[in-house]
Amino acid sequence: MVKKSLCGLTADEIFDLIGPSGFTAVHAVSITNSIYKKSISDISQILKIPNRLKEELFNIAVSGVFLPLASETSTDKSVKYLFRTDSGKKFETVYIPDNKRNTVCVSTQSGCRMGCSFCVTGRYGYKGNLTAGEIINQIIALPQAKKVTHVVFMGMGEPMDNLENVLKACSIITSEWGLAISSRNVTVSTVGLMPGVEQFLKRSGCNLALSLYSPFPEERKKSIPVETQYPVEKIIEIMKSFPVKKKRTLSLAYVMVKDLNDTDRHLVGLKAILKGSAIRVNLLPYHSVLNDQNCSSSDERMQYYKHNLIISGISASIRKSRGKDISAACGLLATGFQKY
């Protein structure tokens, strides 16, 4: 019999597992609290459940909590962790401390099949989806797990290409019986798989960030191939028309590349597609890799974009680059996989 992983199960699913033996929903919540809030990896150490239940769990389940294989620390104190599953899937996670805000950037797939030109992860190729438990483990298995205040799904993989596991992970992260992190502190990023975006907006209260790259379809197709099947203008219209829940943020991530997508023409196009919406713009520096002829827009150019968006009535900010020296910044994950 294949044993179930407790990490990745909801309180209801655990109750379904133990209920037939006479155990209660309270016992199920005790198990989820031990796994998700206490990061307990040894079933014998699970709190507030009888020994008879522990014995039964030994026979039918494993905790599903496993430690990272390796880590690297940046000069800015960000830490990148490498995980590997029993089946051999490798993926990376980044812990980003910033005063009182401590963010974990999680992966949803080993590799990615979207093929975006500016992303190293896409060059690594697609090795498989991560389960909800493998996504959650990236948070609770870290040494800093108890300090985490925010979670972003911006690591390896396209979340909307693994939608059900992402939705389940979001539920575990935000539920009181789970990690109990507010949905306003959880952001899921996408390049724009339209069916997934629609389902995510309907079924989750977490934030959504859309990677844009260019406001012009022909340019975007060259760097984000999914544009051909799912035009970004349609994705943005869905975001504009969707009733925004209180304190939920819908945003665009705009990676700025010098002389490619940071011209005044691009700024006019960006303002045009966002006109009349509450969608926020996060401006990000581009991270070049070996043999890459492109480079990031200057700080001054990014400030120029931010200023012009704001005076046009569009909320905008510049996201600081973190962990670049250890290949932990946006688009760089999987750079060092050959070491392992």
Percent of the chain with pLDDT over 90: 84
Between CA 185 and CA 101 the distance in angstroms is 10
Fold (CATH) for 4-62:
DNA polymerase; domain 1 (1.10.150)
Q: Is the dihedral of CA 162, 164, 165, 167 positive or negative?
A: positive
pLDDT digits (tens, 9 = 90+) for 164-184: 999 999 999 999 999 999 999
pLDDT digits (tens, 9 = 90+) for 234-244: 999 999 998 87
pLDDT score, position 25: 98
Instruction: Indicate yes or no: pTM above 0.85.
Output: yes
pLDDT digits (tens, 9 = 90+) for 5-48: 999 999 999 999 999 999 999 999 999 999 999 999 999 999 99
- With tokens 């020994």, the residue in question is 51
Residue ranges of the domains in the chain? Answer: 4-62, 70-339
pLDDT score, position 97: 96
- With tokens 């150490």, the residue in question is 45
pLDDT at residue 3 greater than cutoff 80: yes
Query: For residue 204, what are the contacts with CB-CB under 8 A and spacing of at least 6?
Result: 167, 170, 171, 183, 188
Tokens of 134: 């493998």
Identity of the residue numbered 127: K
253 bridge partner residues = 211, 282
Give the end-to-end CA distance of the chain in Å, rounded to a whole number.
Answer: 31
pLDDT digits (tens, 9 = 90+) for 201-243: 999 999 999 999 999 999 999 999 999 999 999 999 999 998 8
What is the dotted CATH code of the domain comprising 70-339? Answer: 3.20.20.70
Catalytic residues: 92, 330
pLDDT at residue 334 greater than cutoff 70: no
Between CA 208 and CA 148 the distance in angstroms is 19
- Angle formed at CA 84 by CA 109 and CA 53, multiple of 5 degrees: 100
